[in-house]
Amino acid sequence: LCPCLIYGAYVFLPFDAPLLPTVSARLVYTLRCAAFATFPIVLGMIVSAISRLCSSALEPFGELHREVEIHRTYVSQSVHLFILYFFNMAVLATYLPQELLKLIPLLTGLFAISRLIFWMSYAIGRSFRAFGFSMTFLPLLAMLLWNLYGMFVLEPENLLS
């Protein structure tokens, strides 16, 4: 489903990436796009804080209830995945040709939407969370494989430069 969503958005959304000739400009562009991917994490932190405040627990730092634990776990997992996602997108931005840089904001949007889907499905039931997690993890895995391919096969002479 992820390749179909990315391809459809790539073809049908009417925007192009700005001209980014240098590596530093590409990294700044990636950093700016990644700021939007933090929205579901910040939203999760807010909801987690509100649910902790409204929790019926007598001991605020004691054992957490399910409604508090769901949001806390979501935020923790999202932060870990965001770090991996961001570093892979930063490396990806250095290997992509100019005409494919449109993928950076599309992958960022996919990350944000898939984390929100994961959060909703995780709140419904733990057995439904695989769909949202796979929408986050499989593009991350594809980026990692492409980055490794780019580093070791396409440009092995520039591996550390």
pLDDT tens column, 94-147: 888 888 888 899 999 999 999 999 988 887 876 778 888 888 899 999 999 999
Question: Are 90 and 27 contacting, i.e. CB atoms less than 8 angstroms apart?
Answer: yes
In whole angstroms, what is the distance from residue 135 CA to residue 118 CA?
Answer: 8
CA atoms within 13 A on the CB side of 3: 3
Rounded to 5 degrees, φ, ψ at 102 are -65, -20
Question: Are 119 and 44 contacting, i.e. CB atoms less than 8 angstroms apart?
Answer: yes
* In the predicted structure, residue 57 carries a pLDDT above the cut 60: no
Domains annotated for the chain, with CATH where assigned, are 22-156 (1.20.120)
> In residues, how long is the chain?
161
Can you give the pLDDT at residue 62? Answer: 58
Percent over 90 (pLDDT), the chain: 41
Greater model confidence, 13 or 63 = 13
